[in-house]
Structure 1
Amino acid sequence: MLRSLSVRVVIALLAGLALGAAAAAFGGATAKHGIELVEAVGALWLNALRMTVVPLIFAVMVTGIAGVADAAATGRLAARSLIWIVALMCFGAVFALGFAQVFYAIWPVTGAAAAALRAGATAAPDVAKAAPTFVGFVSGLAPENALKAASENAILPLVVFAAFFGFATTRLPEARRQAINDFFDAIGQIMITIVRWVLAAAPIGVFALALGVGLRAGVGAAGVIAHYVTAIVLGNVGITLVAYLMALIWRLDFPRFVRAVAPVQVTAFATQSSLACLPAMIERCRDDLGVPDRVSGLVLPLAVSVMRITGPVANFGVALFLVQVYGLHPSAMTYLGATLVAVATSMASVGLPGQVSFFASIAPICLSLGLPVDLLPILIAVEVIPDIFRTVGNVTGDMALTAILAKDEPAAA
């Protein structure tokens, strides 16, 4: 059991919080000073994660968009699938925003709880930025200097530039296009390797950061982390129910659909991997839902490789939780920009390892909202719980989409 990195990270989180709280309650000045020195290790680990965000996002955006453009060229069914996927991802981001408004109105993050978690951050957010106007938002979508946007963490303009760059590569001759794709794929793989190295030290980094959280926040931090887990899990459950609602609205055989998806959900719960569930999804779609092989063979791999219906919900949900923690009030234009970033990064990071995609998908959303990313390593430590519900929602959405698209396809190729 201790061989699991997720288990070791959770243990490190709990141990750090407990020891930090004990030092605050019973330790003297020497113990507190020692913990502050250990925190430097946590800050180093956090910065090692931060340094990969911009190159990783740009690389996966370029290769991901080029791949989607290639998929769109494979035919009518692929094009319909991509339209559905983009629409569902946009809906997911809007759903996350609406769900957060309702959830935190019912169960707000209290000032004491927010302060408890916020106290453990190594940096404070820059909240002095003026809210963008609509004119400023539109004019700022394209960066006047892409390198400057990257250095200033202006994520939305960088995402827009990466999107144009990715689509432009599809207009190159085959040899040159492949060379560009290979180059950025290599950049992405290098960044993933670096992140994996950094994550291998996650128990040490999380322990060091959690010591500081426990020192300054005490046991109060545990309650707000449980609040966070509940919010993300319920958001994932909500979007999963939307997938069932899709089956009802498009008049699928609902009992049949429920029976078909149930064993795949069990596999998703156990593996926490949509890719690992792909064979089971293809089998259940064919045998239980009567989906032709040519439909399931195209739509399901495309959905697994491009779409995670829970991605915008969970990723945006993390950032919206931090909005509550820091007591910010982003403008409508800021939320619109963050929504676009949530959709783009969720689609671009599909296929990345879970803990890699957590930081690569959520950090850009936080930055677009003016939030720091200092608390993300603490939240990564408990990601194993929401990730179960992410995967269950993803496979449910994938199978619902496949069955709906199969309804309008002719019986024979």
Structure 2
Amino acid sequence: MEEKNNFLKNYKFPIILLIAIIIGSIAGLILGERATVVKPLGDIFINLMFTAVVPLVFVTISSAVGNMLNMNRLGRILGTMLLVFFVTGGIASIIIICVVKIFPPAEGVSIALQMGEELQQISLGEQIVKAVTVSDFNELLSKNNMLPLIVFSILFGFCVATVNDPEKRVAKFLNAIGDVMMKLISIIMLYAPIGLGAYFAALIGEFGPQLLGSYLKAMVIYYPVCFLYFFIFFAIYAYVAGGKQGVKRMFKYIAPPAITSFATGSSIATIPVNLTAAKNIGVPKDIREIVLPIGATMHMDGTCLSSILKISFLFGIFGQDFSGIGTYLTAILISVLGGVVMSGVPGGGLIGEMLIVNLYGFPPEAFPVIATIGFLVDPPATMINSSGDTIASMLIARFIEGKDWMEKTLKKEAAEDLKSEN
């Protein structure tokens, strides 16, 4: 009985979210397009999260950096973070290559291709500028410019840490604002079951028929791969990060970010939920508050999986053989760069798809084909992208703090909470 009570206590909210999404999905299947009438209820939740996430990202990153006494630690966190992002992205790419070789996603598929408009040429220099900067301060206050906001927040936090202020007034202020923002997020999340249920009802009602069309085989391949990657490889990463305790705590707290990201299709909107999950797992405050917002724009294992799927699908549609070391290496490079670099650019997903079409010399009419696949695989891809940020933060904590990082962080934060209560 006690185990049952503990289970319900730990998983009560994820279970409620799942039930709401299942009810919404069933309603969408039964009502069809009529289910879109409840879409405003879902949009309210998404909009609330989006409006809260920009100030949350700014205060969490600038506070984490601003409270650092050792700037070498910041460099180690960022360097380890990039290494983890690239390694996990590469692993995801290799996995999906093996899968599409065994189960070709375009085999037996017939799609009537319509002539598309000429694709725009991609200027690498221009995309790099757009990825890390904006031309006006007010543009930083948009969820569409998350990477420039992150760059600005890191620089701002660096100045907070290095300016001559013995009392750390600005750093303390940022900490206080961060606490207020997390309280706001906890209030918004009370509405999540209604919002996500309505959002999914509208989504299934409007786009459900496409899942049964020409792209069904790609979906049948991709969805199971994502869930297997989630349960198998996330567990492996968590074990590397924290042993059996790491796996246990990961599965205990990863459900809310996984469900939220799957339902909303937005890594950005899931940042607040990820921050809570990482805190509960025991990831140190500065690591989670730096890595998770950056990961929402740059850590995209799900995108790596979907990029290879799209490339293989196009090869099949146009009767080309998806084989050879050169082809595989190019596909891995495109998928990892698309996941880690292009995702930080506004419209980066479409740019990545244009990059695939351009580099492999496919005709312009190939673009809407992979754009459609991109839309249909978005829920599980975002789930892997977003919840994978928490797993990455665990790995980074292991390399930065040592093997007993989890216990140290939990003890430290428990002592701080006790001190604040007194």
Q: TM-score, normalised by structure 1?
A: 0.57
Q: Which amino acid aligns with 2:17?
A: V
- The Cα shift of 1:240 comes to 4.8
Measured in 2, the distance between the counterparts of 1:159 and 1:308 equals 10
Answer yes or no: is the 8 Å Cα contact 2:64–2:290 preserved in 1: no
- The Cα shift of 1:190 comes to 3.3
Deviations 1:154-204 (A, max 9, x none): 2222222221111111232225x7332233334333332332222211111
After superposition, residues 215-294 of structure 1 pair within 5 angstroms as 215=205, 216-217=207-208, 225-237=223-235, 239-240=237-238, 243=240, 261-263=243-245, 265-266=247-248, 269-270=251-252
Counterpart in the other structure of 2:46: 46
Answer yes or no: is the 8 Å Cα contact 1:66–1:166 preserved in 2: yes
Answer yes or no: is the 8 Å Cα contact 2:66–2:160 preserved in 1: yes
Measured in 2, the distance between the counterparts of 1:404 and 1:197 equals 35
Answer yes or no: is the 8 Å Cα contact 2:42–2:199 preserved in 1: yes
Q: Secondary structure at the match of 1:159?
A: helix
Answer yes or no: is the 8 Å Cα contact 1:52–1:191 preserved in 2: yes
After superposition, residues 13-412 of structure 1 pair within 5 angstroms as 13-24=21-32, 32-33=33-34, 35-67=35-67, 69-70=68-69, 72=70, 79=72, 84-107=76-99, 131-134=122-125, 137-138=128-129, 141-151=132-142, 153-174=144-165, 178-215=168-205, 216-217=207-208, 225-237=223-235, 239-240=237-238, 243=240, 261-263=243-245, 265-266=247-248, 269-270=251-252, 312=295, 315-320=299-304, 339=340, 369-370=348-349, 398=397, 402=401
Answer yes or no: is the 8 Å Cα contact 1:17–1:211 preserved in 2: yes
Answer yes or no: is the 8 Å Cα contact 2:84–2:396 preserved in 1: no
Measured in 1, the distance between the counterparts of 2:58 and 2:382 equals 26
User: In structure 2, do the counterparts of structure 1 residues 86 and 367 end up closer, same or farther at CA, with 3 Å as the change threshold?
Assistant: same
Counterpart in the other structure of 1:410: none
Deviations 1:262-295 (A, max 9, x none): 35644554466665666xxxxxxxxxxxxxxxxx
Measured in 1, the distance between the counterparts of 2:288 and 2:378 equals 26
Measured in 1, the distance between the counterparts of 2:144 and 2:74 equals 29
How many corresponding residue pairs?
312
Deviations 1:95-124 (A, max 9, x none): 233133223333459589xxxxxxxxxxxx
Answer yes or no: is the 8 Å Cα contact 1:56–1:191 preserved in 2: yes
Measured in 2, the distance between the counterparts of 1:264 and 1:237 equals 8
- The Cα shift of 1:54 comes to 1.7
- The Cα shift of 1:208 comes to 0.7
Answer yes or no: is the 8 Å Cα contact 1:155–1:368 preserved in 2: no
> Could you tell me which of 15, 18, 40 is aligned with 1:10?
18
Counterpart in the other structure of 2:416: none
- The Cα shift of 1:149 comes to 3.8
Q: Secondary structure at the match of 2:162?
A: coil
Gaps of 5+ in 2: 1-7, 108-118, 255-276, 315-329, 351-370, 406-422
Q: Which amino acid aligns with 1:144?
A: S
Deviations 1:295-347 (A, max 9, x none): xxxxx9578767879x9599522454676799999998996596379xxxxxx
Q: TM-score, normalised by structure 2?
A: 0.56
Answer yes or no: is the 8 Å Cα contact 1:61–1:159 preserved in 2: yes
